[in-house]
Structure 1
Amino acid sequence: MRIPPFHHDKSWQRFFVGVILGMLIGWLFFLYNFGYVHEKLVMEINKQKSTVENHEKTIDILQKDQDEQNKENQQKLTVQTIKINFTNEKEVNLSELTLFELKEDVESELELVKNKSIETVYSSKELLLKAVRNKIFVIGDKRYQLEVEQLTLYTTLELELSIHAAE
Structure 2
Amino acid sequence: MRIPPLYRRPAWQRFIAGVVIGGCISWIIFLFMFGVLQEKQAKKIKSQTEIINNLEQDKKIWQEDYKELNRKNAELLIIQKVQVKIKNYEKYKIDHLSIMEAENRIKDDLSSLIAKDLYNTYKNKDLVYKTIENRIDKFNNRPYKYTIKNIVFYSTISIELEIKLS
Q: TM-score, normalised by structure 2?
A: 0.61
Residue 82 of structure 1: SS of its match in structure 2? strand
TM superposition shift of 1:73:
2.2
CA deviations over 1:68-116 (Å, ceiling 9, x no partner): 223322322331223568999xx9697xxxx89x84x544421332223
In 1, distance between residues paired with 2:30 and 2:6? 30
Aligned residue in 2 for 1:60: 60
SS of residue matched to 1:110:
helix
Aligned residues: 158
The alignment's TM-score, normalised by the length of structure 1, stands at: 0.61
Q: Gapped runs of 5+ residues in structure 2?
A: 138-143
Q: SS at the partner of 2:4?
A: coil
Q: What aligned pairs does 1:79-90 form with structure 2 within 5 A after superposition?
A: 79-83=79-83
- 2:113 matches 1:113: yes
Amino acid at match of 2:45: I
CA contact (8 A) 2:85 2:159 kept: yes
Deviations 1:111-147 (A, max 9, x none): 33222316x545765753552465468xxxxxxx896
Question: 151-160 or 46-55, which moves further after superposition?
Answer: 151-160
CA 1:113 to 1:19, structure 2 compared with 1: closer, same or farther past 3 Å? same
Aligned with 2:157: secondary structure?
Answer: strand
Contact 1:84 1:161 (C-alpha < 8 Å) held by counterparts: yes
Answer whether contact 1:146 1:161 (CA < 8 A) is retained. Answer: no
What's the RMSD between the two structures over aligned residues?
Answer: 4.3
Query: In 1, Cα distance between the equivalents of 2:26 and 2:3?
Result: 30
Change (3 A) 1:15 1:106: same
Q: Is the 8 A contact 1:83 1:157 kept in 2?
A: yes
Q: Against the structure 1 CA distance between its residues 123 and 21, is the aligned structure 2 distance closer, same or farther, given a 3 Å change threshold?
A: closer
- Give the Å deviation of 1:61: 2.4
Instruction: Say if 1:123 and 1:7 are closer, same or farther in 2 by CA, change over 3 A.
Output: closer
